[in-house]
């Protein structure tokens, strides 16, 4: 093997590439059998080869911190879940054998992936593995400041100028993100041909950017913002975290009407749809978003001003106003995987011009719709604070991608909204009520959830695929962005994202979407829940359930995911399944319930938890 690319030492060089590629095994993050970049030794023809320390303690700490994104069990925990031991001596022997086997498997997999890295062609004779490592991420649409890889990229940048990534350093770099790294190498991503997609999207963007400006800017925005009325920006974020940014995507834009999406989500999680339906309807009003009208004493829907105000009155009712804002801003930050700012100029301007919103609140109070003890002035103050939260255009696309991803932020893998019904209800409202008086036509022509704002911002959600944000301050008669609306309509028409198109339009299947080869929705198949339960893949299970998978699905032996999780001792999976409606006493073909499985495997913690759940039911 060539020393130029810093390939692995001699002990692995005898392994053929075919053997590496065909080896059937799974490596999980945190399977660190050896100390991080420490004094590991390996047999090599009877002799021992010590790995030289090549990373500084500071670099090692950054790599360790990256493991916060990985929630896999240790080897010992997994082995304990699979095997019953007669003695501690037997257990120790099995664990040692498992550790040695796992270490060999990891070495093989890492070796194969390292060879793939070394073969990347960056069209530069002087390219190094450090360059290839970064290029692999950027060429697939990932930003180098992505929270999942930021610390790792920092370590690469801190390597000495004459020090390249060899096999030993490579292993330590990718160990915290081995599954994510493998998906990138295998192109197991939402946008498989991101270059073609990006080129076509840019052409559409430039076409609308060159058109003669139409519409006008909201008056309050022109007074409180540095935005130019001819600004234009678009940003795309897939559910895998691939990014495309066009125009002035770093511009700061306040939430305004888009805050209604966040407020409704929080209210749904805290109160549930049944309780919330007593306060807010779910139908389009057909009139302006700030129209002074109620339907049978309640707002038509949560995405108009009266609905947003009412949601604000229901959120964290027992908290003080400063704590309310703090918690609200924290939710937004979790949705975008970044920090937000607060535009005080917008806040003060809106407080000064709040007459119409006060009118809406007093109308709600007169109708008896506000919750008992609600203070109109406090509600208005909190509402104005939420609408004055400010973030980049690119952050809005991540927010939309979080909704597309079932409430899980694609940049941090954090489950921001655990209630799949809340996500479903919010997307339904965005589809039928999100584009003001244009909502009906939007639902007919585009058929995808969206929400516009008087700032000129529009977010669009393509479930299970991506989120899109487009910003252009000039508004049309429907209070939607002129260029933003046109851009999104053409983008959807070009790529055929509308699911209805795929059902009714035979010719539409020939659209460019086919050539771009999008990842299918295989996670929607309920059978995958059984696999996730066995492998302790909580993140994947959350996504699958959020996308509609049936937690009660059984295999050929009628064993559900809960049966399997109890058998393998995966407590977090058990708790998640039970909280999402999995039945504890359902019997399989052998007349065993999940509780029976946990008892047989002697998982006392799970048994105690399930028995407590049964006693409460």
> Over the stretch 581-605, which tens digit does the pLDDT of each residue have?
899 999 988 889 999 999 988 899 9
Cβ contacts of 12 within 8 Å, gap of 6 or more = 107, 108, 111, 167
- Structure confidence at residue 516 (pLDDT): 43
**CATH code of the domain containing 493:** 3.40.710.10
Residue of 422, 487, 512 whose CA lies nearest to 235: 487
Q: For residue 441, tell me if it sits in a domain.
A: yes
With cut-offs at 50, 70 and 90, classify the pLDDT of residue 76.
very low
Helices first, then strands: H and E counts in the chain: 29, 10
Is a pLDDT exceeding 70 seen at residue 220? no
What count of other Cβ atoms lies within 10 Å of the Cβ of residue 24? Answer: 5
Residue 97, judged by CB atoms within 10 A of its CB (0-12, 13-18, 19+), counts as: exposed
pLDDT tens digits, 329-386: 999 999 999 999 999 999 999 999 999 999 999 999 999 999 998 999 999 999 999 9
Q: Residue 172: inside a domain, yes or no?
A: yes
In a domain, 5, yes or no: no
Q: Which of 107-121, 345-359, 515-529 has the lowest mean pLDDT?
A: 515-529
- Residue 327 is predicted with a pLDDT of 97
Q: Are residues 473 and 542 in the same domain?
A: no
Q: What is the mean pLDDT of the chain?
A: 82
**Rounded Cα gap, residues 137 and 572, in angstroms:** 31
Domain assignment of residue 528, given as a range: 522-616
Mean pLDDT of 496-524: 43
267 and 353 inside one domain: yes
The residue that leads in pLDDT, 98 or 297, is 297
The domain total for the chain is 3
Per residue in 139-194, pLDDT (tens digit) is 999 999 999 999 999 999 999 888 999 999 998 899 888 888 988 998 889 898 99
pLDDT digits (tens, 9 = 90+) for 9-65: 333 334 444 444 444 333 344 443 333 333 333 333 333 333 344 677 777 666 666
Residue 1 lies in a domain: no
- Give the pLDDT confidence score for residue 164 in this predicted structure: 92
Say yes or no: 564 and 535 in one domain: yes
Residue-level pLDDT at 601: 86
Strands (E), 16-77: 41-44, 47-50
Under 8 Å between Cβ of 9 and 167: yes
Residues 375 and 471 in one domain: yes
Q: 71, 58, 241, 32: which is closest to 151 by C-alpha?
A: 58
Shared domain for 247 and 110, answered yes or no, is no
Q: Quote the pLDDT of residue 8.
A: 40
Compare 196 and 517 and report the one with higher pLDDT: 196
Rounded average pLDDT over 255-283: 95
pLDDT at 92: 66
Q: Based on the domain organization, do 218 and 244 belong to the same domain?
A: yes
The alpha helices in 53-166, defined as continuous H runs, are: 57-66, 75-82, 88-118, 129-139, 150-158
The whole-number pLDDT of residue 550 equals 86
> Would you state the pLDDT for residue 225?
62
505 vs 327, higher pLDDT: 327
| Mean pLDDT, residues 519-544 taken together | 72
């Amino acid at each position: 093997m060539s020393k130029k690319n810093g390939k692995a030492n001699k002990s692995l060089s005898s392994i053929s590439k075919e053997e590496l590629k065909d080896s059937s095994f799974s490596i999980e993050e945190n399977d660190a059998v050896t100390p991080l970049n420490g004094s590991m030794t390996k047999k090599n023809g009877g002799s021992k080869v010590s790995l030289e320390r090549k990373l500084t303690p500071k670099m090692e700490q950054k790599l360790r911190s990256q493991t916060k994104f990985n929630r896999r069990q240790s080897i010992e925990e997994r082995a304990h879940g699979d095997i019953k031991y007669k003695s501690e001596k037997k257990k120790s022997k099995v664990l040692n054998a498992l550790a040695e086997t796992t270490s060999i498997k990891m070495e093989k997999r890492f070796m194969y992936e390292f060879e793939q890295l070394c073969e990347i062609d960056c069209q530069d004779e002087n390219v190094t593995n450090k360059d290839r490592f970064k290029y692999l991420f950027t060429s697939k649409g990932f930003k180098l400041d992505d929270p999942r890889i930021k610390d790792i990229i920092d370590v690469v940048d801190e390597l000495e100028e004459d020090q390249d990534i060899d096999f030993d350093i490579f292993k330590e770099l990718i160990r915290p993100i081995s599954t994510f790294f493998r998906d990138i190498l295998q192109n197991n991503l939402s946008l498989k041909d991101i270059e073609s997609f990006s080129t076509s999207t840019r052409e559409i963007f430039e076409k609308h950017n060159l058109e003669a400006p139409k519409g006008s800017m909201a008056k309050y925005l022109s007074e409180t913002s540095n935005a130019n009325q001819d600004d234009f920006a678009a940003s795309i974020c897939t559910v895998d975290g691939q990014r495309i940014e066009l125009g002035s995507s770093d511009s700061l834009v306040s939430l305004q009407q888009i805050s209604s999406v966040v407020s409704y989500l929080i209210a749904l999680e805290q109160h549930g749809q049944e309780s919330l339906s007593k306060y807010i309807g779910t139908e389009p009003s057909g009139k302006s978003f700030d129209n002074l009208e109620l339907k049978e004493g309640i707002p038509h829907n949560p995405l108009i001003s009266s609905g947003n105000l009412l949601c604000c009155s229901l959120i964290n009712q027992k908290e003080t106003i400063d704590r309310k804002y703090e918690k609200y801003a924290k939710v937004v930050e979790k949705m975008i995987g970044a920090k937000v700012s607060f535009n005080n100029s917008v806040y003060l301007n809106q407080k000064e011009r709040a007459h119409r919103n006060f009118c809406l609140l007093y109308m709600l109070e007169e109708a008896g719709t506000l919750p008992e003890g609600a203070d109109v002035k406090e509600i208005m103050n909190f509402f104005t604070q939420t609408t004055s939260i400010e973030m980049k255009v690119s952050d809005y696309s991540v927010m939309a991608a979080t909704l597309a991803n079932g409430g899980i932020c694609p940049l941090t893998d954090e489950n921001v909204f655990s209630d799949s019904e809340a996500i479903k209800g919010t997307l339904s409202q965005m589809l039928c009520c999100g584009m003001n008086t244009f909502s009906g036509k939007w639902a007919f022509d585009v058929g995808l959830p969206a929400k516009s704002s008087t700032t000129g911002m529009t977010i669009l959600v393509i479930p299970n695929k991506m989120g899109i944000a487009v910003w252009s301050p000039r508004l049309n008669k429907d209070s939607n962005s002129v260029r933003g609306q046109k851009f999104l309509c053409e983008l959807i028409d070009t790529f055929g994202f509308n699911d209805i198109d795929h059902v009714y339009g035979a010719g539409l299947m020939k659209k460019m979407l086919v050539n771009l080869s999008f990842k299918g929705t295989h996670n929607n198949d309920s059978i995958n829940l059984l696999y996730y339960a066995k492998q302790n893949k909580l993140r994947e299970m959350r996504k699958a359930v959020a996308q509609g998978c049936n937690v009660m699905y059984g295999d050929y032996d009628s064993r559900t995911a809960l049966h399997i999780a109890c058998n393998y001792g995966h407590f977090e999976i058990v708790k998640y399944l039970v909280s999402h409606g999995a039945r504890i006493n359902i019997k399989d073909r052998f007349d065993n319930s999940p509780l029976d499985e946990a008892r047989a495997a002697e998982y006392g913690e799970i048994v105690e938890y399930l028995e407590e759940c049964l006693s409460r039911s």
